[in-house]
Structure 1
Amino acid sequence: MFQTLYSYFWWERLWLPENVTWADLEDRDGRVYAKASDLYITLPLAFLFLVVRHLFETYVATPLAGLLNVKEKIRLKATPNAVLEKFYAATTKHPKQADVEMLSKKSGCTVRQGGGRLCPKPWFYDLREVWKGYPIQSMLPSQYWYYMIELSFYWSLLFSIASDVKRKDFKEQIIHHVATIILISFSWFANYIRAGTLIMALHDSSDYLLESAKMFNYAGWRNTCNNIFIVFAAVFIITRLVILPFWIMHCTVVYPLDLYPAFFGYYFFNFMMVVLQSLHIFWAYLIIRMAQKFITGKVVEDERSDREETDNSEEEEEAAKNGPLSNGHPVLNNNHRKTD
């Protein structure tokens, strides 16, 4: 039975166009092709990333934060309340204003308390080169390591998300990480490597700006953080709402059909691209909304919130107002990359 399932899973018509077999992608004449077994290394690499992250946070980031006078935010757990817990379990986790007022009376709470390296290649500037000779396209060493590091990083994010602070877009984060892992893995199996490197490079282009904005935000360098965030917002919107759908997705949807009939892998890859693009629109909405508010001089809470979803105590809200996050940047405490 296992052998039958294995055969169905690796059926060539799922992964490759007509008249192409796995034998066509065997290494020969000095040409090397992507293999599914290559991805085994990403799991131990993911755990290595987790260890490196822990060591960095313990021995580098924490002492550096102390030197910059960045203080850890106090997080208070809500006191267990039988009335509230019964209502949330039996009725809804999103009560209306009337329900909140009713619960505050019953529970004795206030209303607030209740509530890699890649050299430029021809396909980087001529998208038709992405499919030239597909799927008989050999793999470059830089592509190999870019894929291994990128996929390992996303595995590490997925493994650590349960222990990180649970934020408002927790579900979207899970969907993003899973979709990205599937998309990267599938593009490797189906030898969509040129398209995959383009997509990953495009997503990476705004991430270093986001991480920089986070650091200056925690350090209390408000003006620097604001300026970097504006640049990040512009790069994010241009790359993920303009270039990705109108250039890259056009490349993956239209150009392949000039070479071969659509097959399962073609549909599956582009479906996962639509999932990622939907998440980009969601995050772009938060970014634009926040940027508009602080450009106009309004001081507001983080649209995502760096707090846990269930942590709504008055003390924490007061601490947030007086802390380095009071300028309320969305996604500045976000662990997502590419995309989300």
Structure 2
Amino acid sequence: MAGILAWFWNERFWLPHNVTWADLKNTDEATFPQAEDLYLACPLAFCIFMIRLVFERWVRLNQVAGMVLLYSTMLYKSHPDEKRLEGLSKQLDWDVRTIQRWFRQRRNQEKPSTLARFCESMWRLTFYLYIFTYGVRFLKKTPWLWNTKECWYNYPYQPLTVDIHYYYILELSFYLSVLFSRFTDIKRKDFLIMFLHHVATISLIVFSYVNNMARVGTLVMCLHDAADILIEAAKMANYAKCQMLCNLLFAMFAILFISFRLGVYPIWILNTTLFESWEIVGPYPSWWVFNLLLLLLQLLHSFWSYLIVKTACRAISKGKVGRWNPLHVSKDDRSDIESSSDEDESFPSNQKHHTSSTNGTNKNGANKNGTNGYLTGASYPDEH
């Protein structure tokens, strides 16, 4: 085990030339990042996960979200065919719509409710808003926010401040808790790519802390938190059926996401980690790995930006911008839960059979408002 640890913490990999771990030991005059500091993130990640459970439970019990939520109207693709519905209608002496509603409610029993998804987005919005506010207040007092070359002057002998330590531990703890909760949260179609995103994020946080690239790391974290606030707010407006607000928030999110992650990120962050650091410090093995992870993050940014632009172009080409729901995806995309416009009615029993079996849809399977698909959470990044 000692041999494995010695190989893993090889100074020639982690640190620039002529620098050793002994040079970065804490002294009375200065404190430097230590790998063992990150152990604190594990129990804190568990605490954050428990706080999230209590937070979401409190929201549900107090019906903060329940007062504004209505279930969505959608057509479920696995409903019984018309012939089967008519047979059941005669057998049970129920009208077709009642039977369709029963099957729909039966399918939804094991699906997460809209309130559950609302609470999940509210939790993320609360954290992102807090951590982004903290990051902005902290960074505006630092010299490296205004001149990124300050990230590399006197590197790696840059002292660790309390603000940087707190910022790093809290971000790492949150993403560890999110990584674990991916297996218990609402399952979505982008599970694998979001899992990869979280692994890359955690790796970047650990890498930048251990080899004391913490200054540029704070810039990366703050830049990514900004857009995440808006997408979670857009989801909440979507679940609450506030469509105009949802459209506005999503448009703001799209502009901020694309400009920050395809513009500011490569020009500001990648420029300093690839070129300014090369000029001031020079490359070494962990420097290459760190930049490789940053470039992987840029690939994910490009993929999500493509999805955002594709969604917007589809709405514009169909001339449905005025009633466009940006979080409304096609039948081929993920669907969390289904409902109907009359689902809030009391469930009737022993109804007489009626001839109507359309349940508010036209012959093409679209509902009356002209949409065709399911209202779901966005398929776009909700974390870094």
- Normalised TM-score (structure 2): 0.69
Alignment CA distance shift 1:321-1:48 (3 Å): farther
In structure 1, runs of 5+ residues without a counterpart are 80-115
Deviates more, 1:182-191 or 1:20-29: 20-29
| Greater relative contact order structure (CA < 8 Å, 6+ sep) | 2
Match of 1:277 among 295, 298, 311: 298
The CA deviation at 1:60 is 0.9
CA offsets 1:58-111 (integer angstroms, 9 cap, x no match): 2215622211134489998979xxxxxxxxxxxxxxxxxxxxxxxxxxxxxxxx
> Which residue does the alignment assign to 1:68?
68
Kept after mapping to 2: 8 A contact 1:42/1:151:
yes
Kept after mapping to 1: 8 A contact 2:207/2:290:
yes
CA offsets 1:246-298 (integer angstroms, 9 cap, x no match): 22101001111223331111100000011111111111111111223345416
Match of 1:297 among 315, 320, 325: 320
> Which residue does the alignment assign to 1:307?
335
Kept after mapping to 1: 8 A contact 2:336/2:376:
no
Q: Distance in 2 between matches of 1:291 and 1:329?
A: 16
The CA deviation at 1:243 is 0.9
Q: Distance in 2 between matches of 1:189 and 1:45?
A: 19
> Which residue does the alignment assign to 1:8?
7
Q: Distance in 2 between matches of 1:39 and 1:208?
A: 26
The CA deviation at 1:308 is 5.7
Q: Distance in 1 between matches of 2:156 and 2:374?
A: 47
Q: Which amino acid aligns with 1:297?
A: K
Aligned ranges 1:1-340 → 2 under 5 Å: 2-61=1-60, 63-71=63-71, 116=131, 117=134, 118-120=138-140, 121-295=142-316, 296-297=319-320, 301-302=328-329, 305-307=333-335, 332=378, 336-338=382-384
- Normalised TM-score (structure 1): 0.78
Alignment CA distance shift 1:237-1:167 (3 Å): same
Kept after mapping to 1: 8 A contact 2:335/2:376:
no
Q: Which amino acid aligns with 2:306?
A: Y
Q: Percent identity?
A: 37
Kept after mapping to 2: 8 A contact 1:305/1:330:
no
Q: Distance in 2 between matches of 1:189 and 1:322?
A: 57
> Which structure carries more helix by proportion?
1
Q: Which amino acid aligns with 1:67?
A: M
Q: Classify the secondary structure of the residue corresponding to 1:237.
A: helix
The CA deviation at 1:332 is 3.0
Alignment CA distance shift 1:283-1:24 (3 Å): same
Q: Which amino acid aligns with 1:15?
A: W
Q: Which amino acid aligns with 1:307?
A: S
Cα RMSD, aligned residues only: 3.2
